[in-house]
Amino acid sequence: MKKQEIQNLAENALHEACRYMQDELGITDGLNASIFFCGNREDAIHTIFHKYIEDELMIKTLKD
Q: What is the pLDDT of residues 15-54, one digit of tens each?
A: 999 999 999 999 999 999 999 999 999 999 999 999 999 9
Distance CA 25, CA 21 (A): 6
Model pTM score: 0.85
Instruction: Please choose, from the candidates 13, 21, 4, the residue with its C-alpha nearest in 3D space to the C-alpha of residue 52.
Output: 13
Residue 4 near residue 48 (C-beta atoms within 8 A): no
Instruction: Please choose, from the candidates 63, 56, 64, the residue with its C-alpha nearest in 3D space to the C-alpha of residue 1.
Output: 56
Residue 53 near residue 5 (C-beta atoms within 8 A): no
CB count within 10 Å of CB 22 equals 15
Confidence of residue 64 (pLDDT cuts 50, 70, 90): confident
